[in-house]
Structure formats: C-alpha cells, structure tokens
Amino acid sequence: MADYNQLLEYARRAEGHTLHTIRGRPFRVGIYLDCPYFIPLSTELGRSDGRKAAERFLEIYNQTHSPRSTDYQGVTRNASYFLALIEWAGSNLDR
C-alpha cells in the first residue's frame, strides 16, 4: 500500500463485490466525494470516518503493516474494513 490514491483504486475495484472482515462479517465498498465508505450487510448503513482518518490509517499501516484492527484504535473505526479491502485487493490485482 502506498498512498490514498491507491486505496481509492482498490475501493473502485471492490465496488459491486461482497468482501469479508477477518471475523467473517460481510460488507460492500462505495466511494463518495473521493472517499471510500463501507456498508456492513448486517445494517445496510454506509459508514465513513472521512479522508483524514483514511490517510492516518494508511500512515500507520505503511509503517507497521499490522493486520490487527486494534492497532488503529483512535484513528478510525473502520480499520477492519480497510484491512479487508487491502487484503482483497492484494489477491485480486489482475481483475
């Protein structure tokens, strides 16, 4: 993962797909105003912390590559979704 633009590209590729968090919770990804948002299938309510939170998540992720959402507490409540998106994109680069 390099930067925010790459994260947006991952989100664009994931649109229309159902992804799963590490705990198996299904969700979908959308983009609004150049910011990814996540839609848990359990609630169907979109959630986003905004671009700044996504950028702060990326700063920590790029330094640590930690797969644990708890390592991003205080930065974003969507870490489990970001991590699942990154994992999904890594295994679907040729799509």
* pLDDT score, position 93: 64
Could you tell me if 34 and 12 are in contact, meaning their C-beta atoms sit under 8 angstroms apart? no
Query: Residues 15-22: what's their mean pLDDT?
Result: 96
Q: In this predicted model, what pLDDT tens digit does every residue of 22-48 receive, in sequence order?
A: 999 999 999 999 999 999 999 999 999
* pLDDT score, position 80: 97
Could you tell me if 65 and 54 are in contact, meaning their C-beta atoms sit under 8 angstroms apart? no
- Regarding pTM above 0.85, the answer is yes
3-state secondary structure of 32: strand
Query: Residues 74-84: what's their mean pLDDT?
Result: 96
